[in-house]
């Protein structure tokens, strides 16, 4: 199996690239952001809880997020591998993911970070906010909070996987195709 973590700040293009990678490598794309938006759209108890954090640009509590992720993985065991997008976003989530993989006799093959500058992120998210209908894209204060949360809580996940030599960075600036080619080179290099 190939089990990827697609990593990077909000607006770094993870969702866009994941959609292309899924087609090429036939992996299951699991985006915790998409899962939360699905729950919010259906006004489920999980969605209502998540909404109060997401609309402020805060992280949903680990216990909620990890449980949701685990359900999704366990419901789809017979796949060629997973692309985790937007997860893990904290160290406890990373530990929970490694535990889940180990239970399946699997491990994370690579964490690939899309490296994008802050100014570019704010521009992209405000632009996306014009059409995405996402409350968390519409307000510059919320966007800045998401970037701060990324730096404080999420970036340490890169170092966590770097300890085992699992983390790599690719340049996330350029055209969608150029970035896709960089990602494919990293995936093709997995032995």
Q: What does the binding site for ligand ADP look like in residue numbers (CB under 6 A)? A: 10-11, 32-33, 36, 53-54, 57-60, 65, 86-87, 89, 93, 136, 146
Beta bridge partners of residue 29, listed in sequence order: 83
Radius of gyration of the chain (CA): 16
Q: From the CB of 126, what's the least distance to ligand ADP, in Å?
A: 12
Long-range CB contacts (within 8 A, 24+) of 179-188: 179/13, 179/17, 179/114, 180/17, 180/20, 180/21, 183/17, 183/21, 183/112, 184/21, 184/24, 186/110, 186/112, 187/2, 187/4, 187/21, 187/25, 187/110, 187/112
Of the residues 37, 110, 124, 146, only one is catalytic, namely 146
Tokens describing residue 89: 């976003």
Q: Is 37 a catalytic residue?
A: no
Q: Is 130 a catalytic residue?
A: no
- Decide whether 78 or 89 has the Cβ nearer to ligand ADP: 89
Of the residues 70, 128, 144, 169, only one is catalytic, namely 128
Q: Is 144 a catalytic residue?
A: no
- Decide whether 84 or 167 has the Cβ nearer to ligand ADP: 84
Q: Is 182 a catalytic residue?
A: no
Q: Which residue is nearest to ligand ADP (CB)?
A: 33
DSSP 108-153: --EEEEEE--HHHHHHHHHHHHHHH--HHHH-HHHHHHHHHHIIII
Q: Is 146 a catalytic residue?
A: yes
Q: From the CB of 188, what's the least distance to ligand ADP, in Å?
A: 25
Of the residues 70, 134, 135, 144, only one is catalytic, namely 134
- Decide whether 38 or 104 has the Cβ nearer to ligand ADP: 38
Q: Which residues are catalytic?
A: 14, 89, 128, 134, 146
């Amino acid at each position: 199996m190939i089990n990827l973590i697609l990593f990077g700040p909000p607006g770094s293009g993870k969702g866009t690239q994941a959609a292309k990678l899924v087609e090429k490598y036939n992996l299951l794309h699991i985006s915790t952001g998409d899962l939360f938006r699905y729950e919010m759209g259906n006004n489920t108890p999980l969605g209502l809880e998540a909404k109060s954090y997401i609309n402020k640009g805060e992280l949903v509590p680990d216990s909620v997020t990890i449980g949701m992720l685990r359900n999704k993985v366990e419901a789809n065991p017979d796949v060629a591998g997973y692309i985790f997008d937007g997860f893990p976003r904290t160290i406890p989530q990373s530990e929970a993911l490694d535990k889940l993989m180990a239970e399946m006799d699997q491990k994370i093959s690579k964490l690939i970070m899309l490296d994008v500058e802050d100014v570019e992120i704010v521009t992209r998210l405000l632009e996306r906010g014009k059409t995405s209908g996402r409350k968390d894209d519409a307000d510059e204060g919320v966007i800045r909070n998401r970037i701060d949360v990324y730096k404080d809580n999420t970036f340490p996940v890169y170092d966590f996987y770097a300890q085992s030599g699992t983390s790599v960075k690719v340049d996330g600036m350029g055209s969608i195709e150029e970035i896709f080619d960089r990602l494919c080179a990293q995936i093709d290099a997995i032995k």
